[in-house]
A and B are shown apart, each in its own frame.
Chain A
Amino acid sequence: MIKHKALLQCRVCGCLSHAPTQLKRFEVMHCPRCGARVKLAQQSTSVEVTWALLIAAAILYIPANLLPIMSVYMLGAGQPDTIITGVYHLLEAGQWPLALIVFVASIVVPLLKLFTLSFLLISIQRRSRWRQYDRMRLYRITEYVGRWSMVDVFVIAILTGLVQFGNLARVDANLGSLSFAAVVVLTMFAARTLDEHLIWDIAQQEEAQA
């Protein structure tokens, strides 16, 4: 949603509509074309909601990395793996391209996402006009890359589904995978609730005042 001389843009379909001259408290405006909710600038809770989701994700990031995500049992002997030891085992086996994929998707991307979204929120709250175009690009990349973190959850699902040979060989999922899936979901919601047009709105508001 943007504010452009009382013109509003729907975030879902892009349709422009006129802002109502008066909006009662708790009154909700819907896009005339697709019916999605269009929020007015003064109704925006984007910054607060995104912070809440980010903080929740940051808290869950700790058990996601400390708890084991899965256990591999071979001939009765079990071996629980956290994300990091999983990467280490891949390196040990000489499969460094795979280790790199898992490391980037499961550790680098969620961590970068937490930092990038916090940085964008702080810059919006400080009404920064610094490199707006680059900050919008940064947001787009963050939003797009986030879903790839699910790859480790899928790997655990495939391994536990496929390797069930009783005492001979078995793969079980552990609690860390639940925390990790929660981190991915929360950061995806956080990227979604962050209204990237706020990056541009500051300049426009100041131009309008000048």
Chain B
Amino acid sequence: MPEVESIACQECGQLHRYHAIAPGKTANCSRCGAVLYRNRPGMLDSVLALTLAGLTLFVLTNVFPLLGLRAQGAEQELHLLGASLAFWDQGYPVVAGLIVLNIIVFPVFELLTLLMVVLTIRYRWKPSMAIFLFRWMREFKPWGMLEVFMLGVLVAVVKLGDLATLIVGAAFWSFAGLILTMTAATALLDPFSVWRALEKNND
């Protein structure tokens, strides 16, 4: 395909010619300065490691309680799923569904897609499934809201601070770790290189 040699900036549409760059270097758009592509040796291995760590942390986050509250001898615990479905019990199933998507479905989808993409490139599998998943992962990206939820947890913790005795659960820390690993994976991943590598698998 001759189109591969010409590329357009994803931000502003400026046309550029693709040329190989040295390891560790970044190519930027001449008009708006956005990153066009990067040459990062070992990117796939780092993303693979972060994805596996992320999946492990996600399981831990679901198993242990996120927060606990003790008031007048009574105790209440909150798990990640409980927080997602709290609106359901209150008679707002649509909002509950939205939250389940935001903090469970889309983050898991992103982790599994990254795993699939990295393995496909590494073992030169047929790329059609990975291409399909990666495309939808990019479309769903804004709807995964782990870091926004974490800010919500922090606000709730301070709000409840003087009301009762608050217990910060183990899942709170694995959740924080999950956010860090997913942010790192996003920062490391160069979509241009991934698309190029997936395309090459077809040849």
Contact = CB atoms under 8 A, between A and B. Distances in A.
A90 B160 CA distance: 11
A158 to B, nearest CB: 4
Contacts of A12: 135, 138-139
Contacts of B131: 33-35
B155 A161 contact: no
A36 B139 CA distance: 10
Contacts, number: 170
B15 A162 contact: no
Contacts of A136: 11-12, 32
Interface in A151-183: 151-165, 168-169, 172-173, 177-178, 181
Given A147-B145, A151-B155, A163-B76, A15 B3 contact: yes
Nearest to B150: A154
Interface string A178-192: 100100010010001
Interface of B: 1, 3, 6-8, 10-13, 15, 32, 67, 69, 71-72, 74, 76, 78, 82-87, 89-90, 92, 94-95, 98-99, 102-103, 131-132, 134-135, 138-139, 142-143, 145, 148-149, 151-153, 155-156, 158-160, 162-164, 191-192, 195, 199
Interface of A: 2, 4, 7, 9, 12-18, 32-36, 90, 93, 95, 98, 101-102, 105, 133, 136, 140, 143, 146-148, 150-165, 168-169, 172-173, 177-178, 181, 185, 188, 192, 197, 200
